[in-house]
Amino acid sequence: MTTLTTPPAHAKSKLSIAGDAILLVADPQAGIADLPLTLPEAQLKKGVAALMRLAAIFDIPTLITVVPGADGKTSPLMAEVEAGKARARMFVRTTPNSFNDQDIRAAIEASGRKSLLISGVATEVAVQLPALTAAAEGYDVHVLIDACGGVSPRTEDAALRRMTQAGAHITSLPTLIGELAGDFTYPKGQEAIGVLFELAGG
């Protein structure tokens, strides 16, 4: 039996996407993330916390966006995001689509990374619009469905269908862990599988 030590030349998969990934977390703030959503608040917090941990483990550049209220002030971040804020870049966004904000777009482009991971609230706006733009511009877009919350099942389903048709990948944190880890015998792979066990533990 022949054992392949390297993937065939035509293979498109990578051992890990970590080195090409950048994370966008949209509007994980009070007054938005705590609204009645398609994903219960406790599950949303758990998913976002896991995503922030993965970004730290694999040194994934992280952009966090918030939107101002009517008074021009921004509300507090979810505690799960606040804990990882020190290694992230914060942006106050006034455009529905993050890619229409010059500073956010510049930060994404300057990273040189083409695998865009997106999490946030609401799926129909803050997640969908940048996902559509990024996919159209050649990014490999991964929308983390267990770290997103929609306004209603019907409207979120429409957004997910549209993103899929545009070429974005609707995926999950367990799948992402596999794509980031590469090999579970590596130290970072071991840390990642720890995050997976925590997610599975309820």
Each residue's pLDDT, cut to its tens digit, for the chain (202 residues) gives 444 344 333 334 568 899 999 999 999 999 999 998 999 999 999 999 999 999 999 999 999 999 998 888 999 999 999 888 889 999 999 999 999 999 999 999 999 999 999 999 999 999 999 999 999 999 999 999 999 999 999 999 999 999 999 999 999 999 999 999 988 889 999 999 999 999 988 6
CB 126 within 8 A of CB 120: yes
Could you tell me where the beta strands, DSSP code E, fall in 45-139?
A: 62-66, 89-92, 115-121
Two structure tokens written together for 111: 């990273």
CA 153 to chain CA mean position, Å: 20
Distance CA 102, CA 85 (A): 21
CATH topology of domain 21-200: Rossmann fold (3.40.50)
- State the Cα–Cα distance between residues 21 and 111, nearest whole angstrom: 9
Judge whether 115 and 17 are in contact, CB under 8 Å.
yes
